[in-house]
């Protein structure tokens, strides 16, 4: 039986931090895992910037409330969920994700949590576990599922490598060149075809 695991930001929804950077006019907040593969280093950088500019969790949540899925994402996800079990494996936070999950029809999401003080300021983050995307794929395989995965960035490569079939969707060229073992798709139509082809191959 096949299961599909997808990244969230950059795959189904816009990059939250890029949009927040644009709305606040703080260009440094636009750094993502496409730019910095060390997630702890990236999050420390972000938390320091939020503190410097006195930006609270509520400020980020207001931006997220006004965001929506990428064009065609809901239809793509609905089609996949009609034919496969689908898990969203993300390095975002539950404190961010609720409006986006609502807009996507409440798919199953596995992600992390933030530490927020009584005044509503982000003071830290709590990873659900190290390499949680890879671990989730391996756990599903331990339950005798065959896993097909798709993502767009450095922090997805462990998940893609562990999966029975792994694909990029519109990754930056530098990342695609660094990891040529993962086929690149550039649209939901291409990714849907790649997933269906992999599912058929895994059944044969």
Q: How far apart are CA 145 and CA 164, in angstroms?
A: 9
Q: Which residues contact 120 (CB under 8 A, 6 or more apart)?
A: 56, 57, 58
118 tagged catalytic: no
Which strands sit side by side in the sheet containing 146-151, from one edge to the other?
122-126, 108-116, 85-93, 2-6, 146-151, 165-169, 184-185
C-alpha distances in Å from residue 35, one per residue of 16, 32, 61, 144, 155: 14, 5, 23, 35, 11
Q: Which residues contact 28 (CB under 8 A, 6 or more apart)?
A: 21, 45, 49
**Backbone torsions φ then ψ of 151, nearest 5 degrees:** -160, -175
Q: How far apart are CA 95 and CA 116, in angstroms?
A: 10
7 tagged catalytic: yes
Q: Which of 9, 19, 91, 164 is catalytic?
A: 9
Measured on CA atoms in the order 103, 104, 109, 112, is the torsion positive or negative?
negative
Nearest of 2, 155, 191, 179 to residue 85 by alpha carbon: 2
Active site residues per annotation: 7, 9
């Amino acid at each position: 039986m096949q299961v599909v695991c997808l990244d969230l930001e950059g795959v189904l929804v816009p990059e939250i931090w890029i949009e927040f950077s644009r709305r606040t006019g703080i260009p440094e907040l636009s750094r993502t895992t496409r730019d910095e593969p060390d997630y702890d280093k990236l999050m420390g950088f972000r938390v320091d910037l939020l503190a410097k500019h006195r930006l609270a969790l509520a400020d980020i949540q207001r931006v997220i409330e006004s965001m929506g899925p990428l064009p065609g994402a809901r239809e793509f996800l609905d089609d996949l969920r009609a034919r496969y079990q689908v898990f969203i494996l993300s390095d975002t936070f539950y404190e961010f994700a609720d409006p986006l999950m609502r807009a996507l029809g409440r798919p199953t999401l596995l992600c992390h949590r933030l530490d927020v003080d009584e005044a509503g300021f982000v003071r830290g983050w709590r990873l659900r576990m190290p390499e949680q995307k890879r671990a989730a794929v391996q756990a599903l395989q331990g339950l005798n599922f065959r896993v097909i995965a798709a993502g767009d960035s450095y922090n997805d490569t462990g998940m893609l490598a562990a999966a029975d079939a792994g694909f990029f969707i519109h990754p930056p060229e530098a990342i695609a060149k660094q990891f040529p073992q993962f086929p690149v798709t550039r649209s939901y139509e291409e990714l849907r075809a790649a997933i269906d082809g992999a599912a058929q191959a895994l059944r044969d």
